[in-house]
A and B are shown apart, each in its own frame.
Chain A
């Protein structure tokens, strides 16, 4: 297969593959990749590096002429709204080394962003975005399991249901991605707060400047690979930290390398294996974590806006931190996503 072909197919597949690097540091980065590709109506599964249509072989265009794709003009889209629900089982809710606690987890997400159609810039396309996301994490919906827990304030030890650990996260995000051919560079910043689910009381916040670069490769007409690097620095403020430490106890920097494959089994079924290595260094405590994640996801795009998915992922984490543990975790479940743009 000609290299141009492979690149184009890669792009086609990695429009779907990149989000499968699913275990990304935050959901907004995933959505970034999605957003870029939602800007225009999906009129064609292929188009060229610069012309819009791939060459079947090198030098073809000189005889045929350049082929530039025309498209019905659409009003520039400005808003992207996103609702997602996923229900899965994790065998290690507390990220423990021993005595793992299994739990069913429901994660509900809504997001709205000002995400205008991309602007052409220096032979590439610039996609800015600013928005808000809210996520609710709910545990133990299917059972009535209890665990023994120490409550710090007021001091109290008692058995609590898993739903006692429910929490939610709100994120304000702004980012910009620039794509050219099969490269995508992105920078952005998030402000995130974690709150309990009873009174929406904040117990943690972080400012997260982040950056990433991704390269897509095709391996055949229906398979492709994507390699990505992502980095961030998290300026944190935690409410409950060890004595003689500050609220910035959890300041850290993350650096991850992701490799994702994509296999389009048919129009409505895409299989995506992925692997991610992440190195995290906590700058205030000299703690280092090493995360390996292997995942397999089956996507079924039902319509342009609606997608269902099933997934399984295995995490292996080694840490030298004082009050955390190395652990292994297996998650499996499914999800439903609805995205609209207008």
Chain B
């Protein structure tokens, strides 16, 4: 009986983190420049106010060079970049990103979250990621720390770890290869990470991921290529080789046929009458066929 009780307690302990609070609303904790809330009811747009609550299904829309941070009651952070449109779902822990850039961080044990754009979705548990999306279906996911799974409408999925990125081009239906990117460079230049007045709560975890990556770089196990696209492409097939030699050179190997008159102007009568034995036509190897000789 005692054993049974312990088993039940353990099961509950493992299950509790999975019973997550829904992420349907968050508070604006920082606003930079042009950030508006678009009411779902009448589609009216009002400037976002600091400490105001954004509730699903109202949307946030940011202008150029603008960004905003929203923090939920459970400390889940959503940071949005310029020219971005997004909203929380009515239930669950889903963020619908219509276009733009978004950083999402859910503290461990809260059930993570799912960022959807078009038919694609990035599902994460206790991690920090950046998602970028275009209206045409382009989709990019970068993991800053932790682990996450990205799924396409066709069921294809990839799992990313810290410092990895995957993307789908606009109109595309499949993932790129998973890329390892320089996390330090990314974070240093990222406004979603550094463009706010206060530090991201998961920054120590990101720093740890950067440190791990740096140690790989310093040890020489990996290298920052900075290479242009063509150097990462699958090997090119060879040419079709229809003309292994250019036509002019080919003609010096396989001489074009000559008429009898042409031949006589070069060599005298054909067969035994050759007076210029060392001479040919355009070059050739000393073997000449005749026009209409068949």
B291 within 8 A of A: yes
On whether the beta carbons of A12 and B241 are closer than 8 Å, the reply is no
B238 within 8 A of A: yes
In the assembled complex, how far is the CB of residue B82 from the closest CB belonging to chain A, in whole angstroms? 6
In the assembled complex, how far is the CB of residue A259 from the closest CB belonging to chain B, in whole angstroms? 15
Which residues from A are CB-within-8-Å of B286? 151-153, 203, 239-240
On whether the beta carbons of A73 and B221 are closer than 8 Å, the reply is yes
Which residues from B are CB-within-8-Å of A16? 233-234, 236-237
B256 within 8 A of A: yes
Majority secondary structure, A binding face? mixed
Q: Can you name the residue of chain B whose Cβ is closest to the Cβ of A73?
A: B223
Which residues from A are CB-within-8-Å of B225? 40, 52, 68-71
Alpha-carbon distance A19/B43, docked complex (angstroms): 54
On whether the beta carbons of A125 and B231 are closer than 8 Å, the reply is yes
* Interface bits A25-59 vs B (CB < 8 Å: 1, else 0): 11100110110111110111111111111101101
Alpha-carbon distance A254/B250, docked complex (angstroms): 14
On whether the beta carbons of A59 and B142 are closer than 8 Å, the reply is no
On whether the beta carbons of B241 and A62 are closer than 8 Å, the reply is no
Interface residues of A in 232-254 (CB under 8 A from B): 234, 236, 238-243, 249-250, 252, 254
Alpha-carbon distance A36/B217, docked complex (angstroms): 24
**Partner-contacting stretch, out of B14-22, B197-205, B263-271:** B263-271
On whether the beta carbons of A109 and B241 are closer than 8 Å, the reply is yes
Q: Can you name the residue of chain A whose Cβ is closest to the Cβ of B163?
A: A70
Q: Can you name the residue of chain B whose Cβ is closest to the Cβ of A244?
A: B279
Alpha-carbon distance A317/B243, docked complex (angstroms): 14
Alpha-carbon distance A325/B247, docked complex (angstroms): 12
A185 within 8 A of B: no
In the assembled complex, how far is the CB of residue A231 from the closest CB belonging to chain B, in whole angstroms? 12
Chain B interface, number of residues (Cβ within 8 angstroms): 108
A157 within 8 A of B: yes
Chain A interface, number of residues (Cβ within 8 angstroms): 149
On whether the beta carbons of A313 and B181 are closer than 8 Å, the reply is no
Alpha-carbon distance A93/B239, docked complex (angstroms): 20
**Partner-contacting stretch, out of B1-9, B69-77, B165-173:** B165-173
A66 within 8 A of B: yes
Q: Which 6 A-B pairs have the closest CB atoms?
A: A240-B280, A65-B190, A63-B81, A238-B283, A22-B239, A155-B274
A126 within 8 A of B: no
B246 within 8 A of A: yes
Q: Can you name the residue of chain B whose Cβ is closest to the Cβ of A86?
A: B241
Which residues from A are CB-within-8-Å of B273? 155
On whether the beta carbons of B187 and A65 are closer than 8 Å, the reply is yes
Interface residues of B in 279-294 (CB under 8 A from A): 279-294
On whether the beta carbons of B190 and A44 are closer than 8 Å, the reply is no
B255 within 8 A of A: yes
Interfacial residues, chain B to chain A (CB-CB below 8 A): 67, 81-83, 100-101, 130, 132-134, 136, 138-140, 142, 163, 165, 167, 169-172, 176-177, 179-182, 185-193, 195, 213, 216-217, 220-258, 262-263, 266-267, 270-274, 276-294
A142 within 8 A of B: no
Which residues from B are CB-within-8-Å of A206? 249
On whether the beta carbons of A1 and B182 are closer than 8 Å, the reply is no
Alpha-carbon distance A169/B245, docked complex (angstroms): 9
Alpha-carbon distance A313/B243, docked complex (angstroms): 10
Interface residues of A in 168-225 (CB under 8 A from B): 169, 179-181, 192, 194, 196, 203-204, 206, 220-221
Which residues from A are CB-within-8-Å of B169? 1, 5, 9, 46, 54, 56, 221
Which residues from A are CB-within-8-Å of B134? 2, 56-57
Which residues from A are CB-within-8-Å of B266? 242-243, 323
Which residues from B are CB-within-8-Å of A122? none
A110 within 8 A of B: no
A270 within 8 A of B: yes
Which residues from B are CB-within-8-Å of A221? 169-172
Alpha-carbon distance A297/B81, docked complex (angstroms): 45
Which residues from B are CB-within-8-Å of A50? 226, 228
- Which residue among A53, A93, A249 has the maximum number of chain B CB atoms within 10 Å of its CB? A53
Alpha-carbon distance A52/B133, docked complex (angstroms): 18
In the assembled complex, how far is the CB of residue A32 from the closest CB belonging to chain B, in whole angstroms? 11
Alpha-carbon distance A295/B239, docked complex (angstroms): 11
Alpha-carbon distance A257/B171, docked complex (angstroms): 32
